Structure 1
């Protein structure tokens, strides 16, 4: 019997940086036998707030990310912008895992159409003021309506960055379910 092939994933962190909680989440994906890269976009800085992280993000140079071609692209909140852009524009992308954010796939702010057959999961809390209140949940619903390989998972609650065990917003039960569902998708690639 042939061993299942494991996926290679790049996980882009949120505006609070590459926290221990992001590293732990990546570890949860690695526990499924997958290789997970976690580039530190802030070079070790851990902003104390989303506002501080946003200011730091505004100073970053644009990168090409060629070293991550042909992978599954994953991102948490702000990291979804990079992950989704790469998933939608890189030939050879294997899939996308979008945590707590989703960009539009049609309209003025869209990157472009979702690639035919590219699997994607979107995870977010239904009452999260960012995900639910700023249009990300609506963008995810649209993506599910347009792409046959898209799944949206909504979790009860209003926390943002609920998958980061190092922050007060962490929800262990919801994160366990996010990881279980993500590992199911990765195992199917």
Structure 2
């Protein structure tokens, strides 16, 4: 079974993020979910973004990194939107990374190195008409096209944060498919 670090999105460590983690735990995986917002959650993306800006994005990232075990643990790094910025960096730069799940976002691989590590399988999940994911879709496609261990899954719809069951943007069918696909990746690492 895999050990997973799951980094939350800009609305905080919501009940829906916790439920997603429980869905992975139900398959026997160990899932850690650092609270980068120190217990705060927000009703909208805009409110969460304002908090992250006021707190400082570096401080938010440091909170997530502070709860991440030192290298050698053999972790899968996962993130929702804002959390992808941490998950992707760690998956690309740590020698002990075993896999990555990038949900609602994907940065250019060049942000953290020249290429995705061939030994680190990665899945990218997002909605085809999500205004935020659409900005990242070229990077997601480039990663999927250049890396044999990368898979890109684009779901119909426009919801950002679609896998968070506590938000109005939740899509139960797409989330069930995402979890099925994620479990497949996790079983192989």
- TM-score normalised over the length of structure 1: 0.90
Residue number in structure 2 paired with 1:162? 162
Find the partner of 1:47 among 42, 46, 51.
Answer: 42
Q: Where do 5+ consecutive residues of structure 2 fail to align?
A: none
Runs of 4+ in 1 over 4 A off after TM superposition: none
Q: How many residues align?
A: 179
Residues 1:46 and 1:139: Cα distance change in structure 2 (over 3 Å): same
Give the match for residue 131 of structure 1: 133
- Which segment drifts farther, 44-53 or 154-163? 44-53
Name 1:94's counterpart in structure 2. Answer: 98
Cα RMSD (Å): 1.3
Alignment partner of 1:10: what SS?
A: strand
Looking at secondary structure, tell me which structure has more helix per residue. 2
Other structure's SS at 2:22 match: helix
Shift of 1:33: 0.7
Give the conservation status (yes or no) of the 8 Å contact 1:117–1:148.
no
- Does the aligned pair in 2 maintain the 1:105–1:111 contact within 8 Å? yes
SS in 1 for 2:159: coil
Structure 1, unmatched stretches of 5+, are 1-5
Task: Tell me, in whole angstroms, the C-alpha distance in 2 between the residues paired with 1:175 and 1:181.
Answer: 10
In the alignment, the residues of structure 2 paired with residue 160 and residue 154 of structure 1 have an alpha-carbon distance, to the nearest angstrom, of 12
After TM superposition, the score normalised by the length of structure 2 is: 0.90
Q: CA deviation at 1:68?
A: 5.5
